[in-house]
Structures are given as structure tokens and as C-alpha cells.
Structure 1
Amino acid sequence: MEKESVIKMWKDYILSLGEDEKQTDKTYSAWYFCDNEQDAHELAQLVLEGTKKATASLFDSYEFENDSLPKKGDHSIITNWQGEAICIIKTTNVEVVPFKNVTEEFARTEGEGDKSLRYWKNCHWDYFSREAKAIGKQADDNMLVVCEKFEVVYK
């Protein structure tokens, strides 16, 4: 069940575009970053500050969940751990690459830690390893990563 703040933010966003929520062809998903409360809140704050403009996810998780990959033009309502709306982002680019081929530029765009590729690989290796294990997979350098860039379209 979506929180009232998510529904309200979406309605307000659609109205800000001069559209009617019942007539619009736009859709959204609502989610938080990472797999724990502290990171979910910190990463949402980085988005609000304009530091975080990308996110990465494990390709195998989409397949496991029978979920479609994000695509350019998709809208997402970023929430905190409790599901309260923080902002709306719009996907601007999606690439699927092996973990070992994630670039320094992407790591910088993701905006976490010191923004280096080394930092990115260390923290994402830990996260992807936990995620892979949860779906019965093994993390390795060739695991596919969904590299999604976005822009904030509504706060």
C-alpha cells in the first residue's frame, strides 16, 4: 500500500505539468535506495542535494522479480525507508554492463562516498553480493549491472 505522501506528490507533479492525473499517460514506481534505513536516507538526501544523479542495480534481480528494466523517460518517486515521498526522478539513460566495466564517470555521477571508482566498486560489491546471495546467485566481476542515470524533476 502506497503512502499518502507518494500519491500526493505524484498528483502535485502531474498538476505542475498542467496535466490531469486521470488523463495522463505518465506512470511511476516508488522505491528507496539500498537495503537498509541509514543508506536509504543518506542516498535520498544526496539526490535532493543534486550530488547523486545515477543509481546501479543488479540485473539478475529484475529477472528474479520478473520486473522490467528501467528505461529512458521512466518516473520514480524516491522515498525514505518508511515509504514517505522525497522527490521524483526521471530516468535519462540506462546501460547494462558487467560489474568490471563500470566507469569512473558513472561512479562520479552516482555521487557516493569520495565519488571514485574504487569507492563505488567496494561498496557496491558488498551490496550486490548480498543481493545476489538472496536470489541464489554468486557475485563475480562479470555480473551484469543496470547503470541508470536520472534527473530530479520534482521535489
Structure 2
Amino acid sequence: MTQTHPSVREIWLNYMNQEGISETEAPAYESWYFCDNEADADELAQLVLDGVKRATASSLEAMEEGGEEIPKVGGFSVITDWEGVAKCIIRTEAIEIVPFREVTAQFAATEGEGDRSLEFWREVHRRFFTRELESVGLKFHEETPVICETFSVVYPPR
């Protein structure tokens, strides 16, 4: 695991303690922040904490090009702010990979951003995926495979 803020390990150990799981039996986890800029990363982390955001979307092509693993159902992630400070722990509940143009209004609403409409979702994600794919030498298109991940917050307890 890459160098992380001490709060990432601390929140993970608190969660393991809450669940009665020893460090030797603890499942793997990763830590990351949403989006590609400070304002959005911090806002989206807060939407998760507020119970509004329960999904996220990723470009399959960008993840593959970057050598990242595709999220797995049951996987854990420590969500951080832009500075890497841990905010919460999520557990992946479902994964569906669909072309960009086939992302549903229901998924857009679950993602919880903006006015929660599919139109808003498409507008902001079209821009985001274009930037992300260009950064790895690829082009966005309406058939771009999107990883639609739904999750639940497992820590801190509500």
C-alpha cells in the first residue's frame, strides 16, 4: 500500500476493533478520494458522510490502462479527502459495467451528485471521463465502459 495519512490506518483499526476482527484476520482494503480535484473530492466525501452518495462511477479503460484493479463486491475502501485524511469506510455492494450511454437514471440518483438527474450525471461525467481518458492517451466515447459501483458506509457507524 502506498504512503498514506496516519488517519487511514487509525480508522481501519477502529473499524476492525468494532467488528471484533484481529489485524491478522483483517481483509484487504484500499484508500482513495473521489474525482480529480480538491473541491470535488472533499464535497463528494461529505456527500457520502451525509448519506446522499451511495455509488460511484469509474472508467474501465482508464483503470485498466493505469494498472488498477476493478472493484470487487465485498471489497473495502477508506474514503479520504483530497489531503488523504480518512473520512469513512465503504464496502462495495454491487458492480455493473455498462457503456456510458446505458448508465441509468436510478444509478445517477444513487450517485447523489448535483440535482441527482441523469442529465446532470452525464454532463459532469462526460467531462470527467474525457479528462481522465486523455491523461492516459485514450478518447472518451458514448460506448466507454463505465464501472457502476454501489456501496454502503460501514464506518463510522450511523
Q: CA deviation at 1:22?
A: 2.2
Question: Among the aligned pairs, what percent are the same residue?
Answer: 47
Q: State the aligned residue count.
A: 154
Secondary structure of the structure 2 residue equivalent to 1:22: helix
Output the TM-score relative to the length of structure 2. Answer: 0.96
Partner residue in 1 for 2:4: 2
Q: For 2:72 and 2:7, how far apart are their aligned partners in 1?
A: 25
1:154 matches 2:140: no
Q: For 1:67 and 1:44, how far apart are their aligned partners in 2?
A: 21
Q: Deviations over 1:96-152 (max 9, x none)?
A: 100000000000000000000000000000000000100111111000000000000
Q: For 1:62 and 1:36, how far apart are their aligned partners in 2?
A: 18
Partner residue in 2 for 1:127: 128
1:14 matches 2:50: no
Q: For 1:129 and 1:41, how far apart are their aligned partners in 2?
A: 21
Partner residue in 2 for 1:74: 75
Q: Deviations over 1:55-108 (max 9, x none)?
A: 001101111122220011000000000000000000000011000000000000
Query: Which amino acid letter does the alignment assign opposite residue 154 of structure 1?
Result: Y
1:101 matches 2:102: yes
Q: For 1:68 and 1:81, how far apart are their aligned partners in 2?
A: 21
Q: Deviations over 1:20-62 (max 9, x none)?
A: 11232x1100000000000000000000000000000110111
Secondary structure of the structure 1 residue equivalent to 2:23: coil
Q: For 2:98 and 2:137, how far apart are their aligned partners in 1?
A: 20
Query: Which amino acid letter does the alignment assign opposite residue 31 of structure 1?
Result: W
- Coordinate RMSD, CA, aligned: 0.6
Structure 1 unmatched ranges of 5 or more: none
Q: For 1:69 and 1:139, how far apart are their aligned partners in 2?
A: 19
Output the TM-score relative to the length of structure 1. Answer: 0.98
Partner residue in 2 for 1:63: 64
